[in-house]
Amino acid sequence: MLTQVELTGIRAAASAQVRDRHRLAARELLTAALFLLPSLLVFTVFLFWPLLRSAVISTYGNDIIGRPTRFTGSHNYQLLLSQPELHEVILNTLLFTLYTVLPALVIGIALALLLQLRVAGIGFFRTLLATPFGFSVATASAVFGIFFNPGVGVLNGFLYPFHIHPVGWLTSPTTALLAVAATTVWLQLGYNVLVLSAGLQAIPEDVYEAARLDGARGLSLLRHVTLPLLTPSLFFLLVVSTIQSLQSFGQIDILTKGGPARSTTTLVYDLYLNAFAFGNSNFGLASAIAMVLFLLVVIVTAIQFGVLERRVFYR
**Which residues from 259-298 bind another protein, rule CB under 8 A?**
259-263, 268, 271-287, 290-291, 293-294, 297-298
Per-residue binder mask for another protein (CB under 8 A), 12-31, x = binder:
-------------x--xx-x
Short-list 93, 101, 98, CA closest to 238: 101
Q: Residue 8's Cα: distance from chain center in Å? A: 64
Minimal distance, residue 223 CB to another protein, in Å:
21
Q: 279 vs 152, 220, 297, CA distance in Å? A: 32, 58, 28
- Omega before residue 260 within 30° of 0, cis: yes
| Residue 304 in contact with another protein, rule: CB under 8 A | no
> Which amino acid is located at 32 in the chain?
A
Distance (Å, whole) CA 68 – CA 90: 26
- What is the rounded CA–CA span in Å between residue 1 and residue 179? 91
CA dihedral 108, 109, 114, 115 (to 10 degrees): 70
Residue number, 125 or 208, with CB nearest to another protein: 125
For position 213 contacting another protein by CB under 8 A, the verdict is no
Give the residue, chosen from 105, 111, 185, 225, that forms a contact with another protein under the rule CB under 8 A.
Answer: 111
Could you tell me the smallest distance in angstroms from the CB atom of residue 153 to another protein?
Answer: 7
C-beta atoms surrounding 170 within 10 Å: 24
Considering only 95-103, 128-136, 204-212, 215-223, which stretch makes contact with another protein by CB under 8 A? 128-136
Site string for another protein, 69-108 (x = CB under 8 A): xx--------x---xxx-----------------------
- Binding part of the chain for another protein, among 12-20, 66-74, 91-99, 218-226 by CB under 8 A, reads 66-74
- Bridge-based pairing state of the strands 68-71 and 60-62: antiparallel
User: Shortest Cβ distance from residue 8 to another protein (Å)?
Assistant: 29
- Interface with another protein in residues 29-48 (CB under 8 A): 29, 31-36, 38-47
Measured CA to CA, the distance from residue 252 to residue 266 in angstroms comes to 9
Among 167, 194, 221, 308, binds another protein (CB under 8 A): 194
11 vs 27 by CB, closer to another protein:
27
Rounded (5°) CA angle 164-169-175: 105
Applying CB under 8 A, does 228 fall inside the site for another protein? no
Alpha-carbon distance of 71 to 61, in angstroms, equals: 6
Contact call for residue 67 and another protein (CB under 8 A): yes
Nearest to 292 by CA among 97, 80, 9, 41: 80
Site for another protein in 138-157 (CB under 8 A): 138-147, 149-154, 156-157
Binding footprint of another protein, residue count (CB under 8 A): 140
